[in-house]
Structure 1
Amino acid sequence: MYAPCEGIVLRAEGGFEERPRTHFLSDLVNAYKNAHYFDPEQDDVQLVAGNHIILQCGGNVYAALVHLQKGSIHVTPGQEIKKGDLLGRVGHSGNSFAPHLHFQLMDSSGISSANGLPCAFEKYEVCRNGGWKPVYNGIPTDKDRIRSAPELL
């Protein structure tokens, strides 16, 4: 996984164990519990986020990259990064149904209290009708399955 922006690493939490194999029913119960009973004032955000990185991308724009693989984070707090720098590997830590990257832009560095910001991607591919289609300067919907498209870069 690579840096989506130039900026500064604010948090790099990487010691959280990845979840064992997925189990639909227990994962669903866990997601419900975290959605309805998680208290950011009392509970550790790492229980939900797992291994994660928070970047300050400039101004009041922050990026959260969540559910990373244990031991894979290559950056440290305070480190300056450039767009495209290697940050870590996608994993299955925290409140995760399966290995994936949760990425969001925010208006502050507090992952549990920040407001989300709109995010457009320069180039990516979206899965449509069983195949991957290129998208340029697009905003994925919340149901889109997307991937980076290095051959489009």
Structure 2
Amino acid sequence: MFIEHEPIIVQFPLRGEWLSPNTPGTRIPSHGTNKLGTRYAYDFIQVDWNRKGWPAYRVSLPQYLLLGARLHEYYCWGQEVYAPCDGIIVQAEDGYVERSRTHLLTDMINAYKNAHFFDPEKDDLQTVAGNYIIVKYGDDVYAALVHLQTGSILVSVDQRVKKGDVIGRVGHSGNSFAPHLHFQLMDSIDMNTAKGLPCAFEQYEVFQAGEWKKVFNGVPTDKDRIRFGI
């Protein structure tokens, strides 16, 4: 794992067991682009560790491929999201309607369109970010929690939050293949122009050799089975 700058330390923004399929612990830029402040961004999902391929959904693979899956059939949809730091809410955008189910082909087409044709000067950021919260952590340090469940945001602009406060729920809004939390630190309130900042999590556990081991100030890889708050 290679981080170009000293990471900013924050609290893990979820509780329970998680997997990060896109993480700076595996590659940088973690999402294949530096756009929208995503250089060091994380995606978090919950999976069934006992099923082949670690699926994030309860339905069978053929059903997922042919028919898709309803949102409540994903393990992480609706899970609580927590403030990763003390700070002030500077943006809280809700009301963007989630698609009722995932469908691989449709979602791939949607992702392609957003990747190649999104114009920040004229297009609504919510078509990509969906429902999201931005917390000002410090001078030129902002935490973004993205793709939240419609109607789940519990905070408002100018509200002060404490690390660990519940602020929303994991959703599937915006440019999302499946319910997940997208999390990033950036140097500006404006995702359209922000540069991503490296961050690590002050504490979590990773499952290795049949036991849970504590990690401090760590950056998980895309193979790590991680948990926090249990």
Q: Shared fold (TM-score greater than 0.5)?
A: yes
Q: Do the aligned partners of residues 26 and 103 (structure 1) sit closer, same or farther apart at CA in structure 2, a change above 3 Å counting?
A: same
- Are 1:57 and 2:137 matched, yes or no? yes
In 2: Cα distance, 1:144 partner to 1:8 partner: 33
- Are 1:16 and 2:110 matched, yes or no? no
In 1: Cα distance, 2:163 partner to 2:90 partner: 15
Structure showing greater relative contact order (alpha-carbon pairs closer than 8 Å, 6 or more residues apart): 2
Where does residue 83 of structure 2 map in the other structure? 3
Where does residue 100 of structure 1 map in the other structure? 180
The match for 1:30 among 96, 103, 110 is 110
- RMSD of equivalent CA atoms: 2.1
**Structure 2 spans left out of the alignment, 5+ residues:** 1-80
Post-superposition offset of 1:111: 1.1
Post-superposition offset of 1:124: 2.6
Where does residue 14 of structure 2 map in the other structure? none
* Count of matched residue pairs: 150
**Structure 1 spans left out of the alignment, 5+ residues:** none
Superposed CA deviations along residues 53-100 of structure 1, whole A, max 9, x for unmatched, are 011101110011000011111100010111111101011111111111
Please tell me the residue identity of whatever aligns with 1:55: V
In 2: Cα distance, 1:131 partner to 1:95 partner: 36
Bigger CA radius of gyration: 2
Secondary structure of the 1:87 match is: strand
Post-superposition offset of 1:147: 5.0
Q: Do the aligned partners of residues 14 and 34 (structure 1) sit closer, same or farther apart at CA in structure 2, a change above 3 Å counting?
A: same
8 Å CA contact 1:123–1:148 kept in 2: the answer is no
Q: What TM-score do you get using the length of structure 2 for normalisation?
A: 0.60
